[in-house]
Structure 1
């Protein structure tokens, strides 16, 4: 597939001894599928902020997790809402641990939230774990980023214990309890504020077809929500 990528960002394939959870100095591991899910490079400030608050590397969020996050940010922008915090996102979604692949997380609809804000995400993405790349260059901040103050974790970490955002959900057979080995006293429920409840209500009132992942995640919408590189970054069509 072809994506608009600035020419000061380079990709290279992993060697036989390379690991996605421990990339070379100055690099980040990335899966090609997350570009189709809406992530653009350099990383948008909001994506950096969320990853930093969660304390996880980009590869620890599965493709549908990226698709939900990006669609959520686009919809909030379309509705004229203030930029959401990680706490607001996690009041609507919780994280599950992929029991098949250690260290992978994905966004899952929380119980009693009224359904996913972002709809119609793929049920199955075949072989996505085969398409890893290392990224080097100005992948984290653009050359003219005036606020490069939020660094992204690049090595695998446990989901941050400092977040007051976690709710337990019922896991299916492919998942294990994220908190099985953690003390539940470290976490407390984060309730939606009245303002957040109203924003979620208005978002769900939008026709489901208009908040499907395919309808939301377009180059035009990414640019409008400032989730893709500005034209001054000189992105070039690059086939990966």
Structure 2
């Protein structure tokens, strides 16, 4: 099992880079933990997902989508997050500020399992 190499300083750099509020705890996986199998009460989010536009705390729209799909944030690829964020933002702009509902989003986008 590969150990995480991220340092406390790098976590703080990520906090600053992505404007993560101090109320959200950040930590690297411990020596016996894996990012893809976090302990109870912990959620893994990879940096490329943040680069695609996901912000913390997570917008209620994305929380509801994840809940409906029974997925954790790390189970959606960075590309998938980019598509979700872009779709949401384009809808809000096109609809003059009206939020996209999860049902409307699910009518055009559904997750699929990777073939790999």
TM-score of the superposed pair, with normalisation by structure 1: 0.38
| RMSD, aligned CA | 1.9
Relative contact order, higher structure (CA 8 A, sep 6+): 1
Q: CA deviation at 1:46?
A: 0.9
User: How many residues align structurally?
Assistant: 100
Partner residue of 2:58?
43
Whether 1:56 and 2:71 are equivalent positions in the alignment is yes
Please identify which structure carries the higher helix content: 2
Deviation at 1:13, TM superposition (A): 1.6
Q: Are residues 99 and 16 of structure 1, via their aligned partners in 2, closer, same or farther at CA, if it must alter by over 3 Å? A: farther
Q: Is the 8 A contact 2:52 2:78 kept in 1?
A: yes
Where does residue 98 of structure 2 map in the other structure?
Answer: 82
Q: Are positions 1:7 and 2:22 aligned together?
A: yes
Cα distance change of structure 1 residues 46 and 13 upon mapping to structure 2, 3 Å threshold: same
Unaligned runs of 5+ in 2: 1-13
Contact kept? 2:61, 2:102, Cα under 8 Å: no
Larger Rg, first or second structure (1 or 2): 1
Per the alignment, residue 68 of structure 1 pairs with 83
Q: Which has the higher strand share?
A: 1
Question: Aligned with 1:52: secondary structure?
Answer: helix
